[in-house]
A and B are shown apart, each in its own frame.
Chain A
Amino acid sequence: MTDQMVSRRTFVGAGAALAAAGALAGCNNDAQAPAGSAGSAPAASTDGDAVELQVFAANSLEKAMPEVQALYTEQTGTTFADTQFRGSGDLVEQMTAGAQVDVLITASAGTMDDAEEGELVDPDTRVDMFVNDLVIVAATDSDIQINSLEDVAAVEGQIAIGEPGAVPAGKYANQSLASVGLYSDESGENGTYDASIADRVNAAQSVGNAAQYVSTGECSIGFVYTSDVYRYDGLKVVYTVPAEAHSAIVYPGAVASTSENPDVAQDFITFCMENSDALAIWSQYGFELSE
């Protein structure tokens, strides 16, 4: 009979543990409920003040953008649905698949061109928002020396490069490698790597992944933006790729053609570029506003 009791007690114990875990999480859930209870993602309402914007932004903006959005919410009351930070190519694919979007910011002119061709954004609203530099990073404690792009072939270990179809940083990296003959296609997208590095290139699905691969030591070097150094720990710049080696790195922004609040969306883009407090945030995260 005691045995029966013990087993029952264990049951009750397990149940209580589950309930406690639920209650613990519940405390915090309440606070975040307003943001979460927006229901389905494309929930941009049109009534007066309570506008919710859905922003699709290049992966490299993942840390800086939420702070600017918080600032915008504080000043205007406009809220934001969970912003998607993926490779720019993925974002355009996601929009093509039918995701509801108000503002699109990509990390290359090419991906924004694709969005324009697919009639996903309003071409009149397009504006170049940021400029960035392409750098080669290594772990902080690494002693890798790179003095030119040719040195990349001599580096031991894996090389993290964004998958060029989805990640503009990968495309810029491949263009740079093509300039020294390590990649076969000058446009940076449809070629193959030189045999000396081909089996060591780790294609990352976003520029952040490439940075994380280097930061955790899976790859010895990676091609990322200058600004990525400021959002991952344990990275240092070992080489800044000359701007001539790749097409200019600009971040175009535009209002999506499916936006239900194009005026608010446009206002947010202007805010990002003109507001001095927003500029302070971009500056801290190493983003340079385009001229």
Chain B
Amino acid sequence: MSPRDATSTTYPIKGGARQASPFVLRMLVVLACLLFCLAAPPRAWAEGAGGEQAVADSAVDDEAGFGLNGFVRNNAGTARAARGEDLGYRIPLAEGSTLVLVNTPDEVLVYIDADAADAAGFSPDSGSDVEALRALVEELDETHSRGGALLSGEDKPWYVTTDPEVDRGAYRYRFCVEAAGGRYTSVVPAGLAEGEDAGDVAESLGIDLGDGVLWSDNAAFVPASDVAREAVPSLIDQAREFFGGIDYRPFWVSLKTSVIALVFTFVLGLVAAWKTMGTSSRLKGVLDSIFTIPMVLPPTVCGFLLMLFFGQSTSIGRWLIAHGIDIVFTWPAAVVSAIVVSFPLMYRTALGAFEALDPAMLDAARTLGWSETRIFRTLMLPLAWPSIAAGTVLAFARAMGEFGCTLFFAGNYAGVTQTIPIAIYFQWMGGSSAVALFWVVVVIVFSFLVILFINLYTGHSQAYRHRGLTRAERKQLAAGTRRRGADGAPGEGAPSGDGLEEQGGDALVIDREALRELLLGDAGAGSGGSAGDGSSKGGR
């Protein structure tokens, strides 16, 4: 009878866990889907799997019979001389490029190598060929724009030529110059005579050669059959590419940093709480303030103070560096930051738990001649364990989430001090929102697991409260349950708590809740009162 009663009274907590587990699964699935939807490029939904497409740097028009390979968009050039040779304003050409497009302020100039045009059957005079080329170039220009302005949006005349050099307005465009070990498109002043220095002439004319080009594209102009193609990537390929492209080091840095910080925090926090408890009230106030202040201070202030303490700018820091402790902007600095910010959480929860212990019990142990260390190890630690465990988890979570102090004191070195929170911030600021989002989801899932763990663990460790009832209390509880069961469900006559659980109405649940509250409430008030007495006694 009594074991079954014990089970029935602990049931609500276990039931909570049982309900939680499908819920957890569902949440994880939802989060995974969310991540996938947001991370996968929208293109993935537009195109189905299967079939072939031109690779990212290529485009093809099968009907017109030509295409482009190795497309590059150059958003700037340079007026810097190439190995001492002044080429005017030059823009590098990719290897094998036979098509050059120069977007000038007034028009779009396109040069196609005469041989390449012949090989692909392209005629600069054919309107349809030029239209087809224009569509190809505009498509690639858009995918290679890196967020810059687009060719397609502009209504400029197109000038297609096979002449390697044209004069337009104040500028002469040399589409394909081989010089100084490279190939360039270069802009020089119009009418530049042989042997004249482009830069000097431009200066004397008062023109900026760079103004003659907004940007320039180049590519290899090839017959359609030579265009590089690949299978259209499936959704899975794209997902693999995305997840394979993520730098996972922040996860390991975070984990490594917080675990090692936790070891220090755990030991230091417990010892600090234990030692603080035994000191006089005035000293205790001082110690308590010092130990707790990192929790109250903004993390950047902690970082700043640590920087002053260990950095080059103060004499203490210089002394430490001279004696081999040079940790600013290194991984140990990240650990120190995590310890400093997580320590107060461990310390406060441990102190609270120790103070809640019945001092009479500790005194009783002292009368038995136990040493303080033994009391701490065999009495205080086990009794305060649930709170200590919760404090440990909180401290770990705090260490994982540390941002301001770490950034200040340890910097942002990928793979060394870049933890997940820092990675999120810098990825987002660097424009990689998808990666930032990935880490956000990782952190949410991780936090979720931590909370789940706390709940399960607390439920588990609190079960003793119900098992630990005296025989008289259990009898009373059982009698009460039976009586209420009979009242609440007449005719059913279910004798056990388990049977009632399946069909009990609301009234029954409220009654049971009230009963539990009553029992626990009494116990809580009793221990709270004695702890209060104890702390005031201990204080003096």
List B contacts of A94 (CB < 8 A).
Answer: 329, 411
Segment of B141-149, B187-195, B356-364, B480-488 engaged in the interface with chain A? B141-149
Specify which chain B residues have a CB less than 8 angstroms from the CB of A36 in the assembled complex.
249, 252-253, 414-416
Is B330 part of the binding interface, using a Cβ–Cβ cutoff of 8 Å?
yes
B459 within 8 A of A: yes
Which residues of chain B have C-beta atoms less than 8 A from A232's C-beta? Answer: 147, 431
| Cβ B147 vs Cβ A208 within 8 A | no
Chain A residues whose C-beta falls within 8 Å of the C-beta of B81 in the assembled complex = 291
Q: How far is the CA of A96 from the CA of B329 in the complex (A)?
A: 12
Q: Does B312 contact A (CB under 8 A)?
A: yes
A237 at the interface (CB under 8 A from B): yes
Chain B neighbourhood of A234, CB < 8 A? 147
Within 8 A of A (CB), among B77-105: 77-83, 91-92, 94
Partner of A291, one of B80, B147, B331, B412: B80
A41 and B74 form a contact (CB under 8 A): no
Q: Is A209 an interface residue (CB 8 A)?
A: yes
In the complex, the answer to whether B14 meets A6 with C-beta atoms within 8 Å is yes
What CA separation (Å) do A37 and B11 show in the bound complex? 49
Chain B hits for A211, CB < 8 A: 431
Grouping DSSP codes into helix (H, G, I), strand (E, B) and loop, the B interface class, with mixed when no group exceeds half, is: mixed
Of A18, A28, A215, the most chain B CB neighbours within 10 A belong to: A28
A 225-249 to B, binary, CB cutoff 8 A, 1 in contact else 0: 0110111111111000000000000
Contact, CB under 8 Å: B146 / A285: yes
Of A41, A208, A226, A280, the residue contacting B329 (CB under 8 A) is A41
User: In the complex, which of the residues A7, A215, A226 contacts B14, with contact meaning CB atoms closer than 8 Å?
Assistant: A7
User: Which residues of B have CB within 8 Å of A100?
Assistant: 329
Verify A237–B149 contact, CB threshold 8 A. Answer: yes
CB-CB under 8 A from B417, the residues of chain A are: 41
By a CB distance below 8 angstroms, the chain B residues around A17 are 28, 449
A217 to chain B, nearest CB (A): 13
**Of residues 190 to 238 in A, which have CB atoms within 8 Å of B's CB atoms?**
206, 208-209, 211-212, 215, 226-227, 229-237
Contact B17 A6 (CB under 8 A): yes
Determine the distance from Cα of A11 to Cα of B21 in the docked complex, in whole angstroms: 10
- In angstroms, Cα B411 to Cα A202, docked, is 24
Contact of A231 among B73, B147, B460 (CB under 8 A): B147
Chain A contributes a number of interface residues (CB within 8 A of B) equal to 70
- The verdict on A288 contacting B210 (CB below 8 Å), with A6-B18, A97-B311 known, is yes
Query: Does B20 make an interface contact (CB < 8 A)?
Result: yes
* B464 at the binding interface (Cβ < 8 Å): no
Which B residues from 109 to 163 make CB contacts under 8 A with A?
A: 145-149
Q: Is B17 a contact partner of A231 (Cβ separation < 8 A)?
A: no
Q: Which residues of B contact A1 (CB under 8 A)?
A: 7
Contact B21 A10, beta carbon cutoff 8 Å = yes
Cβ-based interface call for A282 (8 A): yes
Residues of chain A within 8 A (CB-CB) of B24 are: 10, 13-14
Closest chain-B Cβ to A35's Cβ sits at a distance in Å of 6
Once the chains bind, are B149 and A284 in contact (CB under 8 Å)? Answer: no
Let me know if B430 is at the binding interface, CB within 8 A.
yes
* A142 interfacial contact with B, CB 8 Å: no
Cβ–Cβ contact A283 & B416, under 8 A? no
Closest Cβ neighbor of B307 among chain A residues: A97
Chain B contacts for A279, CB-based, 8 A: 78, 92, 182
Contact in complex: A3, B80 (CB < 8 Å): no
Contact digits for B402-442, partner A, Cβ 8 Å, 1 yes 0 no: 00000000011111111000000000111100000000001
A266 CB to nearest B CB, Å: 18
A287 at interface by CB-CB < 8 Å = yes
State whether A82 touches B416 (Cβ < 8 A).
Answer: yes
A/B interface sample: 28 pairs, CB < 8 A: A1-B7, A3-B7, A3-B18, A6-B17, A10-B18, A10-B20, A10-B21, A28-B246, A32-B248, A36-B253, A38-B415, A42-B329, A63-B430, A97-B329, A98-B328, A99-B329, A212-B430, A229-B147, A229-B148, A231-B147, A233-B147, A276-B92, A283-B78, A284-B74, A284-B146, A286-B146, A289-B78, A291-B78
6 closest cross-chain pairs (CB), A and B: A36-B415, A3-B14, A286-B75, A289-B78, A283-B74, A276-B182
